[in-house]
Structure 1
Amino acid sequence: MKERFERHKQPWDSEEVQKLHGFAKKGMGLKAISKALTRSEESIKKRAKADKIKIAKQR
């Protein structure tokens, strides 16, 4: 069963954006970043695309 996040359509603050950039630089996968930031995978994908960040694909 998927974990459900209670936050819906919350704006990104600068601290979360910095964390996202840091996690992506470290090569963390989408699922791990999602748990760390308590945001949905879709939300992280959208923000990463907007900021032109590459998220590592876990194998």
Structure 2
Amino acid sequence: MDFLEAYADVKLQDLNLYNPEENIEGKLAPTRKQGVLSVQVTELKCGGIVEACTVGISKI
């Protein structure tokens, strides 16, 4: 399992939550590197927190 902590210099109100792919992929949501689960907690400029996880299973 990967666990990441991050800080984003952006306020929650500035994020485009109607089209999350523009804001979240690779920034607020982690890219899975190893294992089955990656978790990222990002603190925002306004004091808010975003928790995101990526789950995947690789075929051997």
User: Which structure's residues are more often strand, by fraction?
Assistant: 2
Q: Give the structure-1-normalised TM-score.
A: 0.27
Q: Give the structure-2-normalised TM-score.
A: 0.27
Larger Rg: 2
